[in-house]
Chains A and B, each alone.
Chain A
Amino acid sequence: MRLLKKSVVALVAMSMVAGCSGGSDVASSDKTELSWWVINPPSPTAAEAQEKMIADFEAENPDIKITKTNRAIDAHKDSLRTSIGTSAAPDIYDYWAGPGLGGELVERGASEDISSYYTEYKWPERFTEAAMGPVTQYGGHHGVPWKLNGEAMFYNKALFEKAGITELPTTLDELNDAAAKLKDAGITPIEFGGTVNWHVMRLLDTFLEGYCGSETFDKLVTNQANWGEEECVTESFVNLEKWASDYFNPGFIGINNDEASSLFFTGEAAMALEGDWFNAQLADNAEVDNFGVFALPTGTGRMYGFEQAMYITKDSDSKDAAAKFLDFMMSEPVQEETLGLFASQSVNKNVTPTADDELSASWNEIFENAEGLYMNNDQNLTQAQTTEYWRIQNLVVTGALDPEEAGSEFQKFLDSSN
Chain B
Amino acid sequence: MSKITATRLPPPPVLDAQRTSKKPFARRIAKGGFIAALPFLAPALAAYVVFVIGPMVSAVRLSLYEWSGFNSDPQVFVGFDNYVRLFTQDPVFWTAMQNTIVWVLLSLVIPTTLGLVMALALNRPIFGRNLFRSVFYIPGVLAPIAIANMWRWMYNPNYGVFSEISEFLGIGDGSGATFLSDPKLAIYAIFAAFVWQIAGLNMVLFLAGLQSVSKELVESARLDGANNWNVFRHITLPALRPTIIVVLVLTIVHSIKVFDLVVGMTGGGPAQSSQVLALWSYSQSFLQHDFGMGNAIAAVLLGITLVLVIPYLIWSSKGNED
- Using a CB–CB cutoff of 8 Å, the interface residues on chain A facing chain B are 78, 81-86, 108-110, 194-197, 249-255, 259, 263, 268, 382-384, 387-388, 390-395, 397-398, 400-401, 413, 416-417
The size bracket of the interface on B is 35 or more
Q: Mark B267-287, 1 if CB is under 8 A from A, else 0.
A: 101111100000000010011
| 20 residue pairs from A and B, CB less than 8 Å apart | A83-B71, A84-B71, A86-B72, A108-B68, A194-B181, A194-B269, A249-B158, A250-B158, A251-B156, A251-B163, A254-B178, A254-B186, A255-B156, A259-B156, A384-B290, A388-B91, A391-B91, A391-B272, A394-B269, A400-B273
Please tell me if the beta carbons of A383 and B70 are within 8 angstroms of each other in the complex. Answer: no
Count the A-B residue pairs with Cβ separation under 8 angstroms: how many? 111
Task: Closest A residue to B72 by CB, please name it.
Answer: A85
> Which residues of chain A are within 8 angstroms of B175 by Cβ–Cβ distance?
250-251
Task: Closest A residue to B179 by CB, please name it.
Answer: A254
Please tell me if the beta carbons of A254 and B183 are within 8 angstroms of each other in the complex. Answer: no
Within 8 A of A (CB), among B59-76: 68-73
Measured between C-beta atoms, what is the minimum distance from B285 to chain A in Å? 11
> Which residues of chain A are within 8 angstroms of B180 by Cβ–Cβ distance?
195, 253-254
Q: Within the assembled complex, what's the spacing in Å between the Cα atoms of A19 and B156?
A: 67
Which of A196, A253, A255, A388 makes the CB contact (< 8 A) with B158? Answer: A255
With A194-B181, A388-B91 given, is the CB distance from A394 to B69 under 8 Å? Answer: no
Measured between C-beta atoms, what is the minimum distance from A251 to chain B in Å? 3
Q: Within the assembled complex, what's the spacing in Å between the Cα atoms of A268 and B72?
A: 50
Task: Closest A residue to B180 by CB, please name it.
Answer: A254
Which of B71, B89, B179 makes the CB contact (< 8 A) with A416? Answer: B89
Q: Within the assembled complex, what's the spacing in Å between the Cα atoms of A14 and B289?
A: 48
> Which residues of chain B are within 8 angstroms of A383 by Cβ–Cβ distance?
287-289
Q: Within the assembled complex, what's the spacing in Å between the Cα atoms of A255 and B154?
A: 11
Name the residue among B73, B155, B156, B271 with the largest chain A CB count within 10 angstroms: B271
Interface of B is mostly: loop
Which of A84, A194, A384 makes the CB contact (< 8 A) with B72? Answer: A84
**B209 within 8 A of partner (CB):** no
**B182 within 8 A of partner (CB):** yes
Please tell me if the beta carbons of B157 and A254 are within 8 angstroms of each other in the complex. Answer: yes
Which of B73, B286, B287 makes the CB contact (< 8 A) with A387? Answer: B287
Measured between C-beta atoms, what is the minimum distance from B142 to chain A in Å? 21
Within 8 A of A (CB), among B159-217: 163, 173, 175-183, 186
Please tell me if the beta carbons of B157 and A251 are within 8 angstroms of each other in the complex. Answer: yes
With A82-B69, A84-B72, A384-B290 given, is the CB distance from A251 to B283 under 8 Å? Answer: no
> Which residues of chain A are within 8 angstroms of B267 by Cβ–Cβ distance?
195-197
**B249 within 8 A of partner (CB):** no
**B239 within 8 A of partner (CB):** no
Task: Closest B residue to A388 by CB, please name it.
Answer: B91
Measured between C-beta atoms, what is the minimum distance from A28 to chain B in Å? 28
**Nearest 7 CB-CB pairings of A with B:** A251-B157, A85-B72, A254-B180, A250-B175, A394-B271, A254-B181, A253-B181
**B255 within 8 A of partner (CB):** no
Please tell me if the beta carbons of B270 and A253 are within 8 angstroms of each other in the complex. Answer: yes
Q: Within the assembled complex, what's the spacing in Å between the Cα atoms of A220 and B50?
A: 47
Please tell me if the beta carbons of A251 and B288 are within 8 angstroms of each other in the complex. Answer: no
Which of A108, A109, A398 makes the CB contact (< 8 A) with B271? Answer: A398
> Which residues of chain B are within 8 angstroms of A250 by Cβ–Cβ distance?
157-158, 173, 175-176, 178
Task: Closest A residue to B89 by CB, please name it.
Answer: A416
With A383-B287, A383-B289, A391-B272 given, is the CB distance from A254 to B73 under 8 Å? Answer: no
Measured between C-beta atoms, what is the minimum distance from B268 to chain A in Å? 9
Please tell me if the beta carbons of A85 and B70 are within 8 angstroms of each other in the complex. Answer: yes
Q: Within the assembled complex, what's the spacing in Å between the Cα atoms of A308 and B288?
A: 20
